[in-house]
Amino acid sequence: MKTEPETDTARPTRAKGAEIWRLRLYVAGQTPRSLAAFANLKRLCHEHLEGRYLLEVIDLVQTPLLARDDQILAVPTLVRRLPQPVRKIIGDLSNTERVLVGLDLTPSSKASG
């Protein structure tokens, strides 16, 4: 995981009728919780959103003012910017079921893309 803002290099491919998910993960340095959140999110995206997501990682140690954009009060925090409405999940994202429910993403969503 880089310590500056980054965008996942996987380019989304828009399948017919599939929407692109814009996700932003806020972390604070390379702490164990930040690294776990990043790894868990990458796994979740690979399993449920393959080819349909853009992931931006923002390290608030490097760029603290960016926390204002999404009103971040704790880290790590995942923000789903698209599809609307915006949703936030705080924590290391280790509880896959909780994350899927929080993002309003079900296993059947994979079949639609």
Is the pTM of the predicted complex or chain greater than 0.85? no
Map out the domains of the chain as residue ranges. Answer: 18-111
Asked whether residue 107 carries a pLDDT value surpassing 90, the answer given is: no
CATH class of the domain defined by 18-111 = alpha beta
Specify the pLDDT at position 8. Answer: 47
Mean pLDDT of 69-87: 95
Mean pLDDT of 85-112: 84
Confidence grade of residue 72 (pLDDT, cut at 50, 70, 90): very high
The per-residue pLDDT for range 11-54, each reduced to its tens digit, is: 555 555 578 999 999 999 999 999 999 999 999 999 999 999 99
22, two tokens: 């814009």
Confidence grade of residue 2 (pLDDT, cut at 50, 70, 90): very low
DSSP 3-65: SS-EE-SPPP---TTPPPEEEEEEE-SS-HHHHHHHHHHHHHHHHH-TTSEEEEEEETTT-GG
